[in-house]
Amino acid sequence: MTGFVFLRVRAHRLLLAAALLSVLLTTSVLATLAAFSGAIGDAALQAGL
């Protein structure tokens, strides 16, 4: 069973690499946006006080 999976992964390694890259890029963008929105919220609170 695992031999079949490895054969399919090897056959479609470009597609697998593109999917992995898109997941990593999306995760990085979402983490950056979450940190940025937190920093903006803190700055707005400090300016409001």
Segment 23-33, tens digit of pLDDT:
999 999 999 99
pTM value surpassing 0.85: no
Output phi, psi for 12, to 5 deg: -120, 40
The pLDDT confidence band at residue 48, using thresholds 50, 70 and 90, is confident
- Give the other-Cβ count within 10 Å of 16's Cβ: 13
Band of residue 16 on the pLDDT scale cut at 50, 70, 90: very high
Block residue for tokens 């990085």: 28
